[in-house]
Chains A and B, each alone.
Chain A
Amino acid sequence: MRNRKQSFYAGRSKVFLSIFILMLLVLLFNDSTNLYGILTMIGIYSIVTLGLSLLMGYAGQISLGHAAFFGIGAYTSGILTTTHGVNPFLSMICGVAITFVIALLVGIPALKLQGFSLALATIGFNQIIYIVIISQSQLTGGASGFSGIPGLAVFGLNLSENRYYFLLVWMIVLLIAYVSMNIIDSHVGRVLRGIHDSEIATLTFGVNISAFKVQIFVLSAVYASIAGSLYAHFINFIAPPTFSVVASIQFLVMIAVGGSQSIWGAIIGTAAMTFIGEGVRTIVPLLMEGGGQVEVVVYGVVLVLVMMFMPKGLIPSLKNVWDRSGFSRRSAMLAKGEERRSG
């Protein structure tokens, strides 16, 4: 039991409670619409990175195509609600269904691939979806984008107000984090970790690896699709660049920086990169002209440095700090005692 508590995989109530408390704190003390906007975006991206964390951190598969699923969700929601007047929640579910089918079609052959090949196949897939979005301009508005997407409303409560949308998005983040943690803690999680460490060893236990990998791939795609729908109803305007390979790379950056082997990592990485982006966007124009791309460079530098010096992401380092602090000294000592007794 002690060991389980020590690993990153555990501590689900802690994650849950902290997010919940943070949410309440924000609601109590924040009046700035702008901050709500940023926090909502972090929530939306977190939904994508939570899925990527399952796929990359646990199943060990790299995807550079999740922006495509994000886009499928966003465009399905946008087109169904705006052009056909379908209920937003219903169109979100339609988006999930379409993503499910496409992810299955792509995932079954793609997840037989490993390492570079899977990364390449998902890039190719992302490019194809991107080109389709641009070319089908009658349907999607093409390169100039798709506008006029309605906001969400539940029981007459208009969720377009930033404070309520923030609440809705983070409720969904909590739900998805909860589902993900259940998956990780179940036998599926054990199989995934086995695949991550050694596919061959897991195979020899008679586990159907590719079925597990495909399932996780489809699940993470569905997460991305939900996030895409939420994004479309939040921003009310969608355009192709948001769903390009570059965006997929940015999702990967978030998860890699936070630490892919932890539910925390997905959220912390997403928050860290979003805040860095926002910070650079506000600071750089004060120092020099035309600094839109400086943000991108900072993104790249942070990514390379983190990967070089903390290949497991920020989480292990943060945990290290936590372990050295007074708060956890007692539990660490207890753990040591246990180790000595059992070893």
Chain B
Amino acid sequence: MDFGQLMQFVITGLTIGSIYGLIAIGFVAVYNVTGVLNFAHGEFAMVGALTSISLIHAGLPLFLSIPLAIAITAFLGGMIEKTTLSPVRNASVVTLIIITLGLSIIIRGLGYILWGAYPLSMDPFSNNEPIHIWGAVLIPQSMWVFATMIVLLGGLYVFFEKTVFGAALKACVVNRKAAELMGINTKSLSTFSFIMSAAIGAVAGIVITPITSATYDMGLFLGLKGVVAMVLGGMNSLTGAVLGGLVLGLLETFAGGYVSTAYSDAISFAILILLLFFAPNGLLAKASGKRV
């Protein structure tokens, strides 16, 4: 086997995997605070990416338009939670699934109306001179993706483990009622979790745009892959989500390289189904006490 080719697969796989990991982090953040699997999460990546492109086209510099786009997406996330999910807090799982599906339909449609069907591109954040490693090529934007993921993961780790606010969020996850009795405002925390995950989704969408370019329907696919990564990692751990993303990215790239490109996507969904059947708690899950 050609070593350079192998190395190339690893690099590409890790780049795609980081993207999935970034999306999965957002899923985990919302799922664990509100108990909702937000099917509209991928759409935040689309909104973030396309908004930042529009701002750049409007003449704003990169370092200004990116934070602005993230802020706009985060605001959208908060608005969505306040207007649609917060009022029906106690609805059944099926109702909540359908509402977030509806939201994704709306956002995707609005995305089409606002930005059209053609892919929009964005210049890389830094110079675009490819780096050669052992016969493989690494583009600098991939480094940005890795770096963003590591910084986000680290930031969220510190936030959840070392701050009172993060601890309150975690308390929400463990037992909502108890958290309320301790004086934690679970309602505003759930809104906050949406704002946070929308911002993370926007970041993910923006960092990958220079590599993949952005379209109105990118959210659906990213969202599905993010969910697969999340399930791989075990639904409730941020590190798990990132690892799940990386594993998925590598699997897909190698399957695409050695089996068939057409079926590399099918393989990742087959993995999802097999996982759900045989290890519904994910690869990293510890045995939990609840068995019904």
B263 sits at the interface (CB 8 A): yes
From A115, A134, A294, A303, give the contact of B102 (CB < 8 A): A303
Contact (Cβ within 8 A) B105 A120: no
Contact mask for chain B residues 217-261; partner A; CB cutoff 8 A; 1 contact, 0 none? 000100010011001000000000000000000000000000010
B91 interface residue per 8 A CB criterion: yes
Closest to B108 in A: A296
The yes or no answer to A124 lying at the interface (CB within 8 A) is yes
| Bound Cα distance A252, B99 (Å) | 11
From B91, B101, B228, B270, contact of A249 by CB (8 A): B101
The answer to whether B93 and A116 have CB atoms under 8 Å apart is: yes
Please tell me if the beta carbons of A308 and B99 are within 8 angstroms of each other in the complex.
Answer: yes
Taking a contact as CB atoms under 8 Å apart, the answer to whether B270 and A128 are in contact is yes
Q: Judging by beta carbons under 8 Å apart, are B265 and A117 in contact? A: no
Residue from A116, A127, A131 with most neighbouring chain B CB atoms (10 Å) = A116
Question: Within 8 Å CB of B269, what residues of A?
Answer: 123-125, 127-128, 131
B92 and A308 within 8 A (CB): no
Are B112's CB and A293's CB within 8 A?
A: yes
Closest beta carbon of chain A to B46's beta carbon, Å: 13
Query: Complex Cα distance A92/B87, Å?
Result: 46
CB distance from A121 to the nearest CB of B (A): 5
Q: Across the two chains, which residue of chain B brings its CB closest to A304? A: B102
Secondary structure class of chain A's binding surface, majority of residues? helix
Please give, as numbers and ranges, the residues of chain A lying within 8 Å of B220 by CB-CB distance.
245-246
A62 touches B97 (CB 8 A): yes
Asked if B67 is an interface residue, CB under 8 A from chain A, the answer is no
Q: Which A residues lie within 8 Å of B265 (CB)?
A: 127, 131
CB pair B92 A311 closer than 8 Å: yes
Among A56, A120, A308, max chain B CB count under 10 A is at A120
> With contacts A124-B273, A293-B113, A303-B105 known, is A131 near B262, CB below 8 A?
yes
Chain B residue, CB-CB nearest to A119: B97
* Mask of A306-342 contacts with B, CB within 8 angstroms, 1/0: 0110010000000000000000000000000000000
Interface code B265-292, partner A: CB below 8 Å = 1, 0 otherwise? 1100110110011001000000000001
Does B60 interact with chain A (Cβ within 8 Å)? no
Q: What residue of chain A has the Cβ atom nearest to residue B273's Cβ?
A: A124
Q: Are A117 and B280 in contact (CB under 8 A)?
A: yes
Q: Which residue of B lies closest to A127 (CB)?
A: B269
Q: Which of A250-298 contact B (CB under 8 A)?
A: 252-253, 256, 290-294, 296-297
Contact of A127 among B113, B266, B276 (CB under 8 A): B266
Among A60, A134, A246, A297, the one with the most B-chain Cβ atoms within 10 Å of its Cβ is: A297
Residues of A within 8 A of B109 (CB): 293-294, 296-297, 299-300
Contact mask for chain A residues 88-104; partner B; CB cutoff 8 A; 1 contact, 0 none: 00000000000000000
A-B pair count, CB < 8 Å, reads 122
Q: For A117, give the chain B residue with the smallest CB separation.
A: B276
Q: Which residues of A contact B150 (CB under 8 A)?
A: none
Are A304 and B106 CB-contacts (below 8 A) given A131-B263, A131-B266?
yes
B276→A120 contact, CB < 8 A:
yes
* CB proximity of A88 to chain B, nearest CB, Å: 30
CB distance from A90 to the nearest CB of B (A): 30
* A121 and B98 contact, Cβ closer than 8 Å, known pairs A110-B277, A200-B292: no
Instruction: Check if A311 sits within 8 Å of B106, measured CB to CB.
Output: no
- Cβ-defined contact, A308 with B224, below 8 A: no
A297 close to B110 (CB less than 8 A):
yes
Chain A residues, Cβ within 8 Å of B99: 303-304, 307-308
Q: Is the pair A124, B113 in contact by a Cβ cutoff of 8 Å?
A: no
Q: Which residue of B lies closest to A295 (CB)?
A: B109
State whether the Cβ of B37 lies closer than 8 Å to any Cβ in chain A.
yes
In the complex, whether A17 has a CB less than 8 A from a CB of chain B is no
CA gap between A271 and B197 in the complex, in Å: 36
Shortest beta-carbon distance from A284 to chain B in Å: 10
A116→B106 contact, CB < 8 A: no
A128 partner residues in chain B, CB cutoff 8 A:
266, 269-270, 273
In the complex, which residues of chain A have a beta carbon less than 8 angstroms from the beta carbon of B103? 300, 304
Asked if B84 contacts A124 (CB within 8 A), the reply is no
Given A124-B270, A307-B95, A113 and B276 touching (CB < 8 A)? Answer: yes
Contacts A252-B101, A296-B109 given; indicate if A120 touches B272 (C-beta within 8 A). Answer: yes
Within 8 A of A (CB), among B71-122: 84, 87-88, 91-95, 97-99, 101-106, 108-110, 112-113
With a CB–CB cut-off of 8 A, which chain B residues contact A201?
A: none
User: Does chain B have a CB within 8 A of A139?
Assistant: no
Min distance, Cβ A22 to any Cβ of chain B, angstroms: 28
Taking the complex as formed, is A86 at the interface, i.e. its CB lies under 8 A from any CB of chain B? no
B contact set with A: CB distance below 8 Å? 37, 84, 87-88, 91-95, 97-99, 101-106, 108-110, 112-113, 220, 224, 227-228, 231, 260, 262-263, 265-266, 269-270, 272-273, 276-277, 280, 292
Nearest first, the 4 closest Cβ-Cβ pairs linking A and B are A300-B105, A300-B106, A297-B109, A303-B102
Given contacts A119-B97, A121-B277, A123-B224, 18 further A-B contacts (CB under 8 A): A110-B277, A113-B280, A115-B93, A117-B276, A123-B269, A124-B228, A124-B270, A124-B272, A131-B269, A245-B220, A253-B105, A296-B112, A297-B110, A299-B109, A300-B106, A304-B99, A308-B88, A311-B91
A-B contact pairs, 18 of them (CB 8 A): A115-B97, A119-B97, A121-B276, A123-B269, A124-B270, A125-B269, A125-B273, A131-B266, A253-B101, A291-B113, A293-B112, A293-B113, A296-B105, A297-B105, A297-B106, A301-B102, A311-B91, A311-B92
